[in-house]
Structure 1
Amino acid sequence: MKLQPILITLLVALVLVTGTFWFLKTYEYKAVDEYVGLRGEANSNPLFAARLFLQRMGIPAERKDSLQTLPPLNTVLLLDTPDDSLSRQKTDTILAWVERGGHLITHSASLPLGEYVIPENEEWLAIQRGKGFITLVADLARIENPAIGDETRANAKFLWQLVHKHRAVPAGVWLIHQDAMPPLWQLIWKHAWALVLTLALLLPLTLLALSPRFGPLIPQSAPERRRILEHIHASGLFMWQRQRKHGDTQYHDFIAAAEQLTQSTRTQHDNTYPDA
C-alpha cells in the first residue's frame, strides 16, 4: 500500500476535526426572541387584546364589525372607529340608544360631540344623556394592540375602569373598531328572501322545461275528409247570399247545374267512397 494516500487521508481528517472543534468553541446555539409583528386577527383588529383581557377577567366580550344592530342596554358599547366613519343617521341611532339607558365608551373622533370637551390633563369625561352615559375618552389607543400590555401605564386597568364606570357588573361588552357593510348575500337574504326562494324554485323548473325530451313522436291525426255534398252546399249558400245582395243572375244556372250534378253523382260517390 502506498504511503501518499494514507497521508492525504490523515491530513483531511485533521482539517475536519480542527475545523469542527473551532466552530463549536466559537459559536453557541442560543434561542433569541425576535419581533415579527402582529399576525392574524391581532393585525386587523386593534381591540383583539382588549377582548381577550375582558374575557379572561370574566366579562363576555364580543367583536362586532358593524352597527347594524345595537346591544342590550345592560351591555357596554365600546366604539373605536376611524374619524368621521359614522353617518349622521347612525350617530343619532347610537345617541338614542344611550338615552334609553345604554353606556357608550368612545372618543371624540368616532362620535363628535361638539358641546363636550375633555378638560386638560384629564383622561376621560363622563356625560349623562337621558338614562344612559357616555364616557368620552381622550385617547383610546391605550387599550389597542399592543399598548394594552404596557404595565407602566396600567392600560389594562384603565380599560377595566372604563367598563365598570357606570355599572358594577356589566352584562357584556361589544367592541367595535369599524362600521363595515355586511356581505352582499346577507343584504339580499335580509331584504329579498322571498325573491331568492322564488328564483330557487323557478330555476330547476325552467331547466326541466328547456331540457330535450326523448322518446317517439306523438302521431298526428290525418286531416278529416269532407263529403262532396258539403262542398256543393257551401257553394250554393255562397251563391244564394251573393244573389240576395247583388242580384247575381248566375245563381239560377248554378242551382240547375248543382241539382243535375247531385242526382248523377250521389249514388256513384257514396258507393265508391263510403267514407268521403
Structure 2
Amino acid sequence: MSRTLRFGLGALLVLALGLLGSYLLQRAESYEEVVTHGPSPEARANPYLAAETFLRKQGLEVTRADNLSGLDTLPSRGHTLLLLANRSNLTPRQNERLLEWTARGGHLLFIAERMWDEEKGKSGDGLLDTLNVQQYPVEQLDEDQGEDEAEEPSDSTADEQTAEPAGEDSAEETADAYPELTKLYLENEQAPAYIGFDPDFHLYDANNLAHVWANSGEATHLLQIYHGDGLISIVSDAWIWQNVNLGSYDNAWLLWYLSQDSAVTLVYNADRDGLLTLLQRHFAPALLALGLLLVLALWHVGQRRGPLLQPQPASRRQLQEHLRAAADFLLRHGGQQPLLSNLQQDILRRARRRHPGFERLAVADQWQILGRLSRQPSTVISQAMRPLGQKRLSASDFTRQVAHLQTLRNAL
C-alpha cells in the first residue's frame, strides 16, 4: 500500500470520527442529578442539631449541656433553658432547683411528659404537678364532653337557647381552615402563627395562671406562666423542633420567639445526679476528713517493724564463693552432662595442639597418646574419657568423674 493511499484512508477515518462526534453532541442532552446521602452522623446522633444551628444563625448564644450539674452556676436573667431531655429520673430536689432558678429571672421551657391520673390526683411529673398543669389525651376530652351533653335537659326551650350558639360554632369551624394546626395569636398581627404540635394531647391550666396559650381545633398545646421573676413555657411535645420537622409551618419561628433576646442552653440528658456528685456537693468536708483519715491509716500500717537490716558490703564474697555459685547455677540449669562434656572437649582440644593428627586416630590410639602425654595410667584415661550415659550420676560418682577429668587436663 502506497503512502498516498494510507494518507487518504487516515483522512477519511478522521473525518468519519469527526462527523460521528458532531452528531452525538447534537443529540446529547445535559441534565443534573442530585444524590442524597441522608443525614450526617452528627444529625443522626443529635435530633436537635438543626435547632441549634438555626438559633445560632439568629445571633443567639447557644450551648449544649449533657446534664443539670451546671445549673448552680448558670445565670438566670437573660437566659433560656430548653429542657428537651427525659425527666422521669429527676428527683424532687432537682425539680425544686429548676423552679428556684426560674424564679430568679430565668426562662424555663420543658415538655409535659405524663398524663393526669384522676384516681391518684397527680400525673407523676414533678414540674407539672407543682404548677398544677394537667395533660389529657384529646380522646378523653371528647368522651367527657359527650357525657356532659347527654346530661343536659332536652326540652324545647333549651333547644331554642342552644340553637344559635351551635350555628356560631359551625361557622367558626368552617372558618378554621387548619383545625389540626396550633395557632398562636400575637398583638398587632392579622394572622396567627401555625405550629405543627401533635393534636392528640391537651394541656389544662387548673389554677388559671397562664397568660399566653396556643390552641389547635380541640386542644391547648402551649402555656406560659409567670414564676417569680421568671417565665415558664410548657409545650405538649417537642418533636416540632427535631431535625425533620423544624422547617415545617412556623415551628422554627416559635423556637426563636420563645428564646429571643436571651442566651440558650439545651439540656439533652436530665438524669439524676450520681452518688459521687451528691457527696461532693453536700459532704465535701466529710469526704476530705475521710481521705485524711485513710492516708494516716495507711501510713500507720505501712510503718517498719523491728530494726533495719544493714546492707551487706560488696567486697565480702570471695572468689571461691563466686565460682561455687556459678557452678551450682550451671549444674542446676544445664545438668551434669554438659559440664562433663565441656571438660572432655577441653582435653581433646589440648591433645590436638600437642599431637598433630590426633583427631584422625581411633579411640584406643587416642587414649594411648593421652596416657603417654599425661603420664597417667590407662585406667584413669578410660575412666575419664568413657562416653557419657543418660543416667544421672550420684553426687560421689559425679565428683569422682570431675576429679579424673581435671587430673587428666592438668597433666596435658
Output the TM-score relative to the length of structure 2.
0.37
1:147 alignment partner, SS class: coil
**Is 2:76 the counterpart of 1:73?**
yes
In structure 2, relative to structure 1, the CA distance for the partners of 1:106 and 1:21 (3 Å cut) is farther
In structure 2, relative to structure 1, the CA distance for the partners of 1:84 and 1:58 (3 Å cut) is closer
Alignment counterpart, residue 174 of structure 1, candidates 239, 259, 265 = 265
Instruction: Give the aligned partner of residue 147 of structure 1.
Output: 245
Q: Distance in 2 between matches of 1:148 and 1:19?
A: 52
> Alpha-carbon deviation of 1:158?
0.9
> Alpha-carbon deviation of 1:177?
2.6
Q: Distance in 2 between matches of 1:42 and 1:137?
A: 23
- Deviation per residue, 1:129-154 (Å, 9 max, x gap): 3443220012322222143233xx22
- Deviation per residue, 1:200-257 (Å, 9 max, x gap): xxxxxxxxxxxxxxxxx733499xxxxxxxxxxxxxxxxxxxxxxxxxxxxxxxxxxx
1:149 alignment partner, SS class: coil
Instruction: Give the aligned partner of residue 259 of structure 2.
Output: 163
Instruction: Give the aligned partner of residue 55 of structure 1.
Output: 56
Aligned residues: 186
**2:267 is matched by which residue type in structure 1?**
I
> Alpha-carbon deviation of 1:106?
1.5
Task: Confirm or deny: 8 A CA contact 2:89 2:271 kept in the other structure.
Answer: no
Gaps of 5+ in 2: 115-123, 136-202, 205-214, 292-312, 319-412
Instruction: Give the aligned partner of residue 230 of structure 1.
Output: none
Alignment counterpart, residue 126 of structure 1, candidates 218, 224, 230 = 224
Instruction: Give the aligned partner of residue 93 of structure 1.
Output: 97
Structural RMSD (CA): 4.1
Task: Confirm or deny: 8 A CA contact 2:84 2:110 kept in the other structure.
Answer: yes
In structure 2, relative to structure 1, the CA distance for the partners of 1:126 and 1:21 (3 Å cut) is same
In structure 2, relative to structure 1, the CA distance for the partners of 1:87 and 1:19 (3 Å cut) is farther
Instruction: Give the aligned partner of residue 46 of structure 2.
Output: 45
> Alpha-carbon deviation of 1:14?
7.6
Task: Confirm or deny: 8 A CA contact 1:78 1:174 kept in the other structure.
Answer: yes
Q: Distance in 1 between matches of 2:271 and 2:23?
A: 60
Task: Confirm or deny: 8 A CA contact 1:47 1:177 kept in the other structure.
Answer: no
Gaps of 5+ in 1: 196-216, 223-276
Task: Confirm or deny: 8 A CA contact 2:63 2:266 kept in the other structure.
Answer: yes
> Alpha-carbon deviation of 1:42?
2.7
Q: Distance in 2 between matches of 1:33 and 1:72?
A: 46
**Is 2:139 the counterpart of 1:136?**
no
> Alpha-carbon deviation of 1:6?
8.9
Q: Distance in 1 between matches of 2:104 and 2:63?
A: 22
Moved more, 67-76 or 96-105: 96-105
Q: Distance in 2 between matches of 1:21 and 1:27?
A: 10
Task: Confirm or deny: 8 A CA contact 2:90 2:270 kept in the other structure.
Answer: no
Q: Distance in 1 between matches of 2:272 and 2:8?
A: 79
- Deviation per residue, 1:86-128 (Å, 9 max, x gap): 4325444323322443211121129932431425523411123
2:246 alignment partner, SS class: helix
Output the TM-score relative to the length of structure 1.
0.52
Q: Distance in 2 between matches of 1:10 and 1:155?
A: 68
The percent identity for this pair of structures is: 26
Q: How does 1:233-252 map to 2 (within 5 A)?
A: none
In structure 2, relative to structure 1, the CA distance for the partners of 1:18 and 1:179 (3 Å cut) is farther
